[in-house]
Amino acid sequence: MPKPQVFITRHLTTKLDQLQQIATIEVWEERQPPPYTVLLKKVKTIDGLLCLLTDQIDQQLIEAAGTSFKVISQMAVGYDNIDIPVATARKIPVGHTPGVLTDATADLTWALLMAAARRVVEADRFVRGGEWRTWEPNLLLGPNITGATLGIVGFGRIGQAIARRAKGFDMKVFYTSKNRCDQELERDLGVEFTAFEHLLQEADFVTIHTPLLDETYHLFSDRQFKLMKQSAILINTARGAIVDQEALYQALANGEIAGAAIDVTDPEPIPTDSPLLSLDNLIITPHIGSASRQTREKMANMAIVNLIAGLKGERLPNCVNPEVY
């Protein structure tokens, strides 16, 4: 019997030996993702796909998949690029990589929070620009982090990891989420559940950790920025489209909020002529939340394990749509 065929949409640093034993592998070796038309052609003949969040796995693509197509395995925890209802209707399990990237993403979120508060990027530009003349009492001042109030929007794996970090900074922590978590966990993490609007009004730092869903699209727009403190800083390491970027630009340019630090934009990459890039009170990183070497290795391995299970017709260890079983 010929081995199943799999397509991996980018070069991974991890070893593919285990997969190689059971499948014939084709890897897209270019730096840019495969064009949609290439994917559309591939899915007609392959048995499994290992994809990234840069691949658009939509209705047309899933419906074009051949009869032998068995599994979609995404190397990311978020899966808003995949049409899950259509995959489910075709009984195709979709895998993802939760948990292994929680700490790396929380660490980057914390780095952004601290860099925005203490103006680290501006300060670096200041020194390189030859502007450092002397120690000045009022140079590059920012707010305190220790003892400040933090608002966490979306209290899942990463949101909770942020709360654990906040403990070390003696912060008052509010969270809002679809569901309130159990009170023992609240006590343990030292957090208080509150309404979204109250959190916006109270927090010195607001950090976003929801998935991108219909109901979280542009969750942050004009009204939400107006509710926030003028001294507040927004951090977004979730998905770009959760924030209305035009509204974010206005809020930052008009001083409705003090600053922002974002790892995700809409679209990605952000166009180089975006007005956001002209703002000194905004830090942008290129979607590197999970980018520690160890984490990316774990994500790749987890995606391969999901892929192998799908090829063998076994239940994926981390399945987004278990209804297929």
Contact 312, 29 (CB under 8 A): no
Nearest to 284 by CA among 266, 317, 261, 300: 261
277's tokens: 């890039």
Q: Which of residues 50-69 bind ligand GLV (CB under 6 A)?
A: 53
The one catalytic residue among 239, 293, 314, 315: 239
Closest approach, Cβ 80 to ligand GLV, in A, equals 8
Could you tell me which stretch among 25-33, 71-79, 304-312, 316-324 binds ligand GLV (CB under 6 A)?
71-79
> In whole angstroms, how close is the CB of 165 to ligand NAP at the nearest point?
14
154 near ligand GLV, rule: CB under 6 A: no
Active site residue 11: no
Please state, in angstroms and rounded to a whole number, the distance separating the CA atoms of residues 208 and 30: 32
**What DSSP letter does each residue of 109-133 carry, written as one string?**
HHHHHHHHHTTHHHHHHHHHTT---
Q: What CA dihedral angle connects 272, 216, 89 and 65, to 10 degrees?
A: 10
Smallest distance from ligand NAP to CB 242, Å: 8
Is the CB of residue 221 less than 8 Å from the CB of residue 227? no
Task: Compute CA distances 189 → 21, 237, 313, 321, whole Å.
Answer: 45, 21, 40, 30
Nearest Cα neighbor of 177 from 223, 219, 148, 228 is 219
For ligand GLV, the closer of residues 214 and 273 by Cβ is: 214
Point out which span in 25-33, 74-82, 122-130, 274-282 binds ligand GLV (CB under 6 A): 74-82
Given 8, 43, 52, 76, the residue binding ligand GLV (CB under 6 A):
76
- Give the active site residue among 10, 96, 119, 287: 287
Is residue 209 part of the annotated active site? The answer reads no
290 contacts ligand NAP (rule: CB under 6 A): yes
- How many Å apart are CA 203 and CA 163, to the nearest integer? 14
**Is residue 218 among the annotated active site residues?**
no
Residue 158: which of ligand NAP, ligand GLV, none does it interact with, CB under 5 to 8 A by kind? ligand NAP
Minimum distance between the CB of residue 231 and ligand NAP, rounded to whole angstroms?
A: 24
Q: Nearer Cβ to ligand NAP, position 126 or 186?
A: 186
Scan for tokens 């727009």, then name that residue: 221
Q: Residues 109, 236, 285, 290: which binds ligand GLV (CB under 6 A)?
A: 290
Give, as ranges, the residues between 250 and 289 that touch ligand GLV (CB under 6 A). Answer: 289
- Comparison of 14 and 201: residue with beta carbon closer to ligand GLV: 14
Extract the runs of DSSP E, i.e. beta strands, from the chain.
5-8, 24-27, 48-51, 71-74, 94-95, 149-153, 172-176, 191-193, 205-208, 233-236, 259-262, 282-284
CB under 8 Å to 36, separation ≥6 — which residues? 56, 61
Using CB distances below 5 to 8 A depending on partner kind, what does residue 49 bind out of ligand NAP, ligand GLV, none? Answer: none
x/- site string to ligand GLV, residues 86 to 105, per CB under 6 A?
A: ---------------x----
Query: How far from 216 is each of 32, 126, 167, 233, CA to CA, in Å?
Result: 28, 37, 27, 19
Out of 154, 240, 259, 310, name the contact with ligand NAP by CB under 6 A: 154
Active site residues: 239, 268, 287
User: Which residues would be at the binding site for ligand NAP (CB under 6 A)?
Assistant: 77-78, 98, 101-102, 105, 153-159, 176-179, 209-213, 215-216, 237-239, 263-264, 287, 289-290
